Structure formats: C-alpha cells, structure tokens
Chains A and B, each alone.
Chain A
C-alpha cells in the first residue's frame, strides 16, 4: 500500500484511540459550507492525479486530492465534461471536496447532480479500513449504493481516496436567451417549458429578467430558439460562470455580502417565496436563493411548505451555530443518520459536527 494511505490509516487509528477528531480538507474552497467542525486538519491535496480516463467508456477515475480544474481540463481536451457543472468556489477545489460537498451548478436540473454521476469510491472508514464500493460501470447494483451516499456526506462517513465518475460529451451547440419577466411568470413559464421536449440546460431568474441556456444538438437548439423567442445574449459564458461560482453581484456584491445567504431547495412549482431580501432562482424554479436577515425558523418553514428544505449557505459562524447550517431532520431520519455514522465511523473521528452538531 502507498505510504500516504498508510500514514492516513495510522492517523485514523491514533485519533480513534485517543478520542480525537480529524477534519478532512482538500483545497479548503468549501470551508464556509456547513458548520465549523473540530479536529486536526487532514489535508488530501498531496493525494492527487487522474488514475485512469477512458473517453470511450465515459468514465474517469481520480484521486480525491486532484484539483477539480485539472480534471475538467483533461475532460475538455477530449470534448467531455462533468455535466452537473460543480462549483469550485476557489482555485483549490478538489475532486474529493466536490463529491463530499455534493453541490451542483446551473445545469443540474437538466442533467442530474453530482450523486447521479458518482460510480465508485475508495475510502478509509473510521476504523482505518480501505474499502471500495461501486466501480467503473454505469450499472451496478451489487451491494448498497455507498458511492452515491458519499456525495454530499461532507466527510462525515469517511475519507474518500479515489472516485470514479461518469462523464458526458460536451453539448455540440449552446445559446442563451433573455426575457423580461416577473418572478411569477418566470416560474409558470419554466414549469410549462419543462413539460416539453426542449433542450433547456439552465435557467436563472433575477431582478425581472429570466435568462435561459439551451444546449444540445445544433438542430434542437435552433428549433427551440425559434419556438421560445426572447432575446439572444452574446458571450453568455461569463454570466453562467458567475452563477456557478457565485461571483454574480447577487452573491458577491458589496452591499449584500454581509447578509446571510439561504439556499432553498423546493418543488419547482412552488409559488414565489416572500422574504425581506432579494431572490435569485435557478434549476427551473427548484432552487431559490434568499438574501436577508429573516429568522432561520421562518425561512425553514417557508422551504418546508414549498416541499423542500433550507440551508444557511453563507452566514456568520455565530448564526450558523445558533440556527444550524442544515434543515433539521425528522426524528426517524435523525436516528438513521446517527446509526450510519456509527456504522462507518464508530469513534466519531471524521468531520465531527460539520453537518449536524450531534455527529
């Protein structure tokens, strides 16, 4: 076994024995996400590199510490991509961090999320045992689907060392359209269009404008452009990048950056969610960002009545600690979560408190 893995196994054993914690960290680009967690940093960035990439198999395998930018550049060279457009949130983002955070970008509603593309993981569990689940094939139902469970688990179940991902060809054609539209109308339109076979790849509604990205075969994009109308936006790449990376003024503007940012994942058909601050809508209506200082309980109730949940995405630590970063779980789900933590990390070594304070 590689010396690096041996060293990590040693650290996991030591921490477990001493009742100490480890905080798994890649590039630190998502340090802000979730609750502040305890423990010594376990840095994954030295464990990097693409292990195998076979464009004809649509599969890439990379070590967890591989820079996400490097992975995406490698795929681009072969005309392929991670279709879910994971946000980097900084130059250091790693593949392991991407899977652990489980965040997907603008194209998510059209193509699926990180979890939908994870095919396999190798990981060290809380006993320091090296385990492999899933693999490199598209269809695999042998054993429970641990690889997908790891997506979004925020490092609470183990240290991923290697990840196998499904990739897809880059869409041959794309185009961005803009419509002046109220929030209510935009939600209606997005849901109506969603029921038609249109190549809609991404959408953003903000401040009276709906921006729509089409992607697909040349003919399909051309036909959709005819059917939909709107105004064509030239050079829209930077706009979509600013949504994906949250550098758009809505997210990063000076005036707003002090206020908390809430992420509401709701039913796409939910009516406009009224809050004190401004809103930005993605994913055909299924993702609503809210800025403002309204109470956590109020936001969470709004999200729940819209069929979903609310995350305190960015906010001061004190607020996060008081309100929790993530939506509270029902008692039965909370019990299953505690049991799963116990199953994978009995001594509570990894990322304690990062997701929920109780584990």
Chain B
C-alpha cells in the first residue's frame, strides 16, 4: 500500500544526481529501479515507496558532503539501518534520497576498563555483546531483532528488549552519539562522562527516528554479565490471571531481569518453529527471570515462585541449565517470525499501558478480534506494560488490511485511554502517525514541530514521519470523532 506522505518537495532530480555523482563512486549510489526496489520498505511491509536514489556512504566525510548537497538543493534524506523497524521509519520518501548506513559496520573499540564500546551505527546489536563477551561484559538492551538490527537504528528508535525492565532502554545505555546535522555539520551529543554540559540533547537523539540527525558513531555502556541467570516459566489457565500475576510480582518488590508474556495463539505459533518446550495446553505463559549470584538467584526464584503460585499459576518450570534458559527465551524472541509463518501478513502493535490494566486490555483485544473477524496473538513485554498484539491478516483478501489497521487503531486508542501510549519501543514512523492525534493536542504537536526545526529548519530529515502535520491531526479527529481523542490532562 502506498503511504500518502503529505509532506512533499519539488526536488531537482538531475541536479541532485549530478552532485551525488561527484561525491560518491558509482557502486555507492543506486539509481536504477531494480536496485532501488529492495529499499522500498522496512519491517512494516504493508507500506512502500520507491526513493529517488539510495546512497551508501562509507566515510563520515561522504555523509557530510551528501547532507550538505541535499541541504543546498532541498532534497529530503531518509536514514536507514537494517530496516527491521516495524513502524515504517526507514521507509523511503518518494522525493528523497535513502541514506543507508550499512557500510558503517566497524566496532571501533571495546574498552573493558571503562566498560564502553565505540561502534559505528551499522554494527548489529548482537555483535556488540559478542565482541564484549570475552571480558565478561555485554550490551544490555536486547531487542528480539538483535541478530539483524543496528545500533544506529536502536538509538533512533530508543529500542527496548526483554531485559529492559531491569537494565533500561537504549537511552539508559548510550553515553555518546556522534553524528551530522542536515547541514552537514559534525555534532556530538553526550560525552565519555556520565553527563554533559547544557541541555540533555542525548535524550532527544534517542528515539528521534532519524528526524534530528544522522548518527555515525555511538558509545555504549557495557554491563558485567551476572554470574547466573535462571528463568521461571509460569503457566496459567486464564490470560487475565497471567496479566494480574505481572502486577503481583512487581507489587512484591521484585524487579525481575525479564518479565514477558505470551498467550496461547503465540505459543502455538512458536512451538513448532523453535521447539522451546512450552506447555501448549496453557492459555498463557509468563517468563520471569532472576539474575545475580547463585545464592541471590536461588532466593529470588523462591520468592517469584511463591508470588506466581499465589496468583494462580497452574504449573511452574525453572530452567535447569544455561542451554535450557536460552531455549525458553529463544521461543519468546522468535515470536514475530513464528507468527509470520502461520499467516500471510501481520501487523504488530506496540502500545504501553499501566501494568494493572493488562487484564482489561487482554479482554478488550479478544472482543476486538471478534468484532473485526481477525486472529490475534499476544506477545507482551509484560513487566513494562508494553504490548505486542500481532494482528494476522491476508493482504490479498480485499479489505483485510483496512480491517487489521482499524483493529490496531482501536487498541492504540485504548492504550492512551488506559493511561498509556501508542508506542513503547517501535516508534511512530508512518504507521502510528495518525493515531498520534489521539495522544497529543495540536499545541503539543506544534511544539514537536518547533523542536524538530531547532535541528532541521528546512524539515529535510525523514520528512512526514514521527510527528503528524496539523492537517493530518485535524483529519484524524474529524474521522475518528472526538471520542477517540483523549483530552488533556492525561496523567
């Protein structure tokens, strides 16, 4: 489906091409349609657009020159990592250039003493932990896409993982970001120290979805590996009981290393694919992890088991070896592709709600599934209240994508109503651009646009993404009705 990007540019194609040819050797500049095709979408395959050109710079000076040229010519630039993003953040702009950072894949330095790694943005998330492993260190944020997604994309989305309840999101684990403004000026956010002078711009760069700067180098914190980690699988005969158990664990003063949930449709999709060994009769499973010294873990696991039992778990299984622990997690981490195998297409929602509303939300999702006549598998970063309902549909069946989109939209509106947000970690991109109007007032949206202009006055970096135009907001409120829009104050 085409995404109707309402931010358009009158771009001089031949002038742009001429300048790019001066900057880049031919193999780093893609111009022909068949070369451009592979770049037409990211992980959100429902939306596609063909870019004018794709550039694959190899050096910072090429990045700077390309940006300066595009800035001078008024040509939009869309930064791109591994394109695993699920909100269309890296989807091209028809009037613009895609800048892939795929060639920036060097780990520049692993420093075990300062416990930091300096990496280029195209380095894969997992590669950082692998390089740090000989020192007993790892990079804590572990998105399920970690074998493929890049650090640049992680920073741009402020990605989370199954262990971020205890170890934080990307924003908590990045010390410094080097990059370039759309004007081609080198800029550094953060420092080798724990804070830096002036406003905390590093906080803005994390989660900026490629709208504020192009990231070319990232210094991340490395965390010492705990001596031991064990995970409890807690099975429930009722999803709502499982939802309530999550709140109970936190209420008991426990901060698990990870606290994730899958419902029956999710485990049934995963099991044939990964053979994690899940009990397929249960309506839901919680994965609750403890890490620390062996005695600490033994004590905490006992506390966790007691709480989970009291919350109504029908059976509890504790991983007995590192291999078994990894197998249990492999099932969870493979949930998206596993669902991808049992349905032609799926949409992944990403709302976050207060934990205590989990049971309520699960019930609502079941009702919506019936209303729209579509299947939905639920995979939750439950400890954080971050939900990934996977709505299954078939794009070849007329009207199914529209129904799936409407289904998802209602989940997100409900997330806002329950005191949460439309996106916990996947970003707004193009996917949630309209529903942003359910969460923010026009005045807030306008403030976001002014903030963007402080970095990018011409609005050339990843235009039309992340923050809706005020016209889009008006259209959304008119079609969805005022009821869909939560008025402030919202917290």
| A residues apposed to B, CB below 8 Å | 54-59, 61, 79, 102, 108-109, 112-113, 115-116, 120, 122, 125, 129-133, 135-146, 148-149, 151-153, 156-157, 162, 164, 168-169, 191-192, 194-198, 216-220, 223, 265-269, 283, 286-287, 306-309, 311, 326-330, 332-333, 336-337, 339-340, 342-344, 355-356
| B residues apposed to A, CB below 8 Å | 111-115, 135-137, 157-158, 160, 164-165, 168-169, 171-172, 181, 185-188, 191-201, 203-204, 206-208, 212, 224-227, 247, 250-251, 253, 255, 292-293, 295-296, 299-300, 352-356, 381, 384-386, 419-428, 432, 436, 439-441, 443-444, 447-448, 450-455, 457, 466-467, 488-491
A142 touches B421 (CB 8 A): yes
Nearest CB in chain B to that of A52: its residue: B491
- Complex Cα distance, B113 from A281, in Å, reads 18
A311 touches B197 (CB 8 A): yes
- Complex Cα distance, B431 from A316, in Å, reads 53
A151 touches B197 (CB 8 A): no
Interface contacts beyond A169-B253, A333-B188: sample of 16 additional A-B pairs, CB < 8 Å, sorted by A: A108-B194, A109-B194, A130-B443, A131-B444, A137-B421, A142-B432, A143-B467, A144-B204, A216-B296, A219-B296, A267-B193, A309-B196, A326-B198, A330-B187, A330-B188, A337-B199
B293 touches A137 (CB 8 A): no
- Which residues of B have CB within 8 Å of A265? 191, 193-196
B444 touches A191 (CB 8 A): no
Nearest CB in chain A to that of B248: its residue: A56
Q: B165 contacts which of A138, A156, A219 (Cβ < 8 Å)?
A: A138
Nearest CB in chain B to that of A123: its residue: B447
- Complex Cα distance, B196 from A152, in Å, reads 10
- Which residues of A have CB within 8 Å of B451? 144, 146, 340, 343-344
- Which residues of A have CB within 8 Å of B489? 122, 130, 132, 162
Whole-angstrom distance between the Cβ of A2 and the nearest chain B Cβ: 10
Whole-angstrom distance between the Cβ of B346 and the nearest chain A Cβ: 21
Whole-angstrom distance between the Cβ of B195 and the nearest chain A Cβ: 5
B440 touches A143 (CB 8 A): yes
- Which residues of B have CB within 8 Å of A136? 354, 419-420, 491
Nearest CB in chain B to that of A139: its residue: B424
What are 9 sample pairs from A and B whose C-beta atoms fall under 8 A apart?
A142-B428, A148-B200, A191-B114, A194-B115, A220-B292, A265-B194, A286-B194, A333-B188, A356-B198
Please indicate which of the listed interface residues A143, A146, A265, A268 has the most CB atoms of chain B within 10 Å of its own CB: A143
A139-B385, A268-B114 known; A145+B447 contact, CB < 8 A: no
Nearest CB in chain B to that of A59: its residue: B354
Whole-angstrom distance between the Cβ of B42 and the nearest chain A Cβ: 16
- Complex Cα distance, B251 from A54, in Å, reads 10
- Which residues of A have CB within 8 Å of B224? 194-198
A336 touches B455 (CB 8 A): yes
A145 touches B192 (CB 8 A): no
- Complex Cα distance, B440 from A193, in Å, reads 45
Q: A332 contacts which of B185, B203, B295 (Cβ < 8 Å)?
A: B185
- Which residues of B have CB within 8 Å of A113? 194-195
B187 touches A332 (CB 8 A): yes
A115 touches B384 (CB 8 A): no
Whole-angstrom distance between the Cβ of B267 and the nearest chain A Cβ: 23
- Which residues of A have CB within 8 Å of B436? 142-143
Nearest CB in chain A to that of B227: its residue: A197
- Complex Cα distance, B432 from A120, in Å, reads 20
- Which residues of A have CB within 8 Å of B112? 195
- Complex Cα distance, B226 from A67, in Å, reads 38
- Which residues of A have CB within 8 Å of B192? 266-267, 307-308
- Complex Cα distance, B199 from A327, in Å, reads 12
A56 touches B113 (CB 8 A): no
A355 touches B198 (CB 8 A): yes
- Complex Cα distance, B115 from A268, in Å, reads 10
Q: B114 contacts which of A112, A267, A309 (Cβ < 8 Å)?
A: A267
Nearest CB in chain A to that of B426: its residue: A141
B299 touches A219 (CB 8 A): yes
A269 touches B114 (CB 8 A): yes
Nearest CB in chain A to that of B181: its residue: A332
Nearest CB in chain A to that of B352: its residue: A137
B385 touches A137 (CB 8 A): yes
Q: A141 contacts which of B356, B425, B488 (Cβ < 8 Å)?
A: B425
B191 touches A307 (CB 8 A): yes
Whole-angstrom distance between the Cβ of B308 and the nearest chain A Cβ: 15
B443 touches A129 (CB 8 A): yes
- Complex Cα distance, B165 from A197, in Å, reads 18
A344 touches B450 (CB 8 A): yes
- Complex Cα distance, B203 from A148, in Å, reads 6
Q: 3 tightest A-B contacts by CB?
A: A307-B192, A308-B193, A339-B454
- Which residues of B have CB within 8 Å of A342? 450, 454
A309 touches B424 (CB 8 A): no
A139 touches B384 (CB 8 A): yes
- Complex Cα distance, B253 from A168, in Å, reads 8
B491 touches A132 (CB 8 A): yes
A340 touches B193 (CB 8 A): no
A152 touches B354 (CB 8 A): no
- Complex Cα distance, B171 from A98, in Å, reads 20
- Which residues of A have CB within 8 Å of B293? 197, 219-220, 223
- Which residues of B have CB within 8 Å of A223? 293, 295-296
Nearest CB in chain B to that of A80: its residue: B253
Nearest CB in chain B to that of A194: its residue: B115
A142 touches B439 (CB 8 A): yes
Whole-angstrom distance between the Cβ of B244 and the nearest chain A Cβ: 11
Q: A269 contacts which of B113, B158, B226, B425 (Cβ < 8 Å)?
A: B113
Nearest CB in chain A to that of B196: its residue: A309
- Complex Cα distance, B204 from A151, in Å, reads 12
Please indicate which of the listed interface residues B158, B165, B191 has the most CB atoms of chain A within 10 Å of its own CB: B191
- Complex Cα distance, B195 from A336, in Å, reads 18
B421 touches A287 (CB 8 A): no
A219-B296, A219-B299, A223-B295 known; A115+B491 contact, CB < 8 A: no
B385 touches A138 (CB 8 A): yes
A195 touches B115 (CB 8 A): yes
- Complex Cα distance, B169 from A205, in Å, reads 30
B193 touches A137 (CB 8 A): no
Nearest CB in chain A to that of B300: its residue: A217
Whole-angstrom distance between the Cβ of A267 and the nearest chain B Cβ: 4
A217 touches B447 (CB 8 A): no
- Which residues of A have CB within 8 Å of B225? 197
- Which residues of B have CB within 8 Å of A269? 111, 113-114
A138-B352, A217-B300 known; A148+B450 contact, CB < 8 A: no
B448 touches A55 (CB 8 A): no
Whole-angstrom distance between the Cβ of B288 and the nearest chain A Cβ: 16
Q: A196 contacts which of B136, B157, B158, B204 (Cβ < 8 Å)?
A: B136
A130-B488, A139-B160, A139-B386 known; A309+B197 contact, CB < 8 A: yes
- Complex Cα distance, B419 from A137, in Å, reads 8
Whole-angstrom distance between the Cβ of A80 and the nearest chain B Cβ: 8
B194 touches A287 (CB 8 A): yes
- Complex Cα distance, B423 from A316, in Å, reads 47
- Which residues of B have CB within 8 Å of A164? 491
Nearest CB in chain B to that of A339: its residue: B454
Q: A137 contacts which of B113, B168, B353, B455 (Cβ < 8 Å)?
A: B353
A54-B356, A152-B199, A196-B224 known; A143+B160 contact, CB < 8 A: no
